[in-house]
Amino acid sequence: MPANGSGSTGPTTDELTVLLAAPRGFCAGVERAVDVVELALEHYGPPIYVRHAIVHNTRVVADLEHKGAVFVEDENDVPEGGRIVYSAHGIPPEVRDNAERRGLREIDATCPLVTKVHYEAKDFANKGHDIILVGHAGHQEVVGTTGHAPEAIHLVETPADVHALELDDPENVAYITQTTLSVDEANEVVDAILEKFPNARGPRGDDICYATTNRQDAVKVLAERSDVVLVIGSDTSSNSKRMVEVALGHGAAAAYLVDHAGDLRDEWFDGVSRVGLTSGASAPDVLVQEMIDALDERFGAEVRTVDVVDEQMHFALPKELRGLPLANA
């Protein structure tokens, strides 16, 4: 992109236009998971142990650590009798079994939409189906889902993986998906599944969560209207990284994943007049406001909200915490 004047960087106009996506940021599952940890800390007191990052965002994890949460990757790292919270991404059954053997007091913050996929996996396996799971290897959600039907699940990421898949009974196949995938890419893989296994059974309703879909739809609009798109989210966040890919795939000349305002680079705005701004489903809105403040301080910024979908989804808290008020609510 051309520079704004000889040797200078910055927007092509006196003031940068920031197109702010709506919806953006916390989804209902993430909001619930963070509330679970905060309520547990307030009600039971620290330490509250959390298996894996409660959500994939460095600011959220750091804030909860400051309040007394202790994040572990293995339930065996929790002292016997300790209180453990399971992250929004879900767990395989053996984790729960081990925690119960060790006398841990459990609070399950698994997103209800992930739990739905777990039920689907168990149901298809009980009916004798080979299950094709569309997802990313190593992602905590995929690890958890696979654990509910390990003998039946076959993981694929691309149409090529599907084409290479050989199953004993091609007429007895089902498929499920990770909830945070790119909708367009997931549809390509599902199309490949149905091409190779025409009788494959799918889930009741889409597995990709409403928030992932809504945020990707919003970023498509930003991509069409902006010179550059910024997606606030951590590198560990699958849904945030998919949003960058969606922006680039729908016309954005440039799109960047940024953890916080400190990641901004002036050269990104060379010749730019319109910036699309959004955030992944695990990114708190405080990071969005900090980003707007940073853009305004550097370039001057006029913020215009781009309303795409009105979200009104909420999930009930786990039974152990229902009725407890948040101190900062």
Residue 273 contacts residue 12 (beta carbons within 8 Å): yes
Burial of 20 (0-12, 13-18, 19+ CB in 10 A): buried
CA-nearest of 205, 60, 189, 200 to 134 is: 189
Is 141 annotated in the active site?
yes
Residue 219 contacts residue 276 (beta carbons within 8 Å): yes
Residue 113 contacts residue 200 (beta carbons within 8 Å): no
Q: Which of 141, 188, 195, 297 is catalytic?
A: 141
Rounded to 5 degrees, φ, ψ at 255 are: -150, 140
Q: In this structure, what token pair is assigned to residue 85? A: 């919270």
Going by C-beta distance under 8 Å and a sequence separation of 6 or more, which residues neighbour residue 1? Answer: 227, 253, 270, 271, 272
Catalytic positions, please? Answer: 141
